[in-house]
Amino acid sequence: MGPKSHVHCTVENCKWFEEPNLCVAEKILITSDDFSKELPNEMDVEETNQIVNQKGLSPITECYQSNCKTFVPEDKYDQGLGGTNPNNPDQ
């Protein structure tokens, strides 16, 4: 098992919110805003395979298309653009 994730959150009324602005959920589902709008609120991380089988993966190109604000397109990351890239120490 790799290092623990450190997920920040600003939704203080969520069950998994913990001070100081952390998400303490063991599992997190991240999808595009478009997919989120089409899925019932009851869909959760446990239904990830069902979502992928039903809709496919949800490729996006920009952070604003997702609720995952740490999103950086992989191709930009590989080029050293956006996010923190360990291969580019100047960032």
- What does the pLDDT read at residue 91? 45
What's the confidence (pLDDT) of residue 21?
Answer: 93
**Degrees, nearest 5: CA angle 28-20-6:** 40
What is the per-residue pLDDT for 78? 83
Strand partners, 17: 23
| Tokens encoding 71 | 């999103």
pTM above 0.75, yes or no: no
Bond before 20 cis per omega within 30 degrees: yes
Domain extent listing, the chain: 30-85
User: Are the CB atoms for 45 and 23 separated by under 8 Å?
Assistant: no
Provide the 8-state DSSP code for 18.
E
Per-residue pLDDT of the chain (91 residues; tens, 9 = 90+): 456 778 899 998 888 899 999 998 888 888 888 888 888 777 778 888 888 898 888 888 888 888 776 676 778 878 877 655 455 545 4
CA distances from 88 to 3, 40, 51, 66, 91 (A): 21, 40, 35, 25, 6
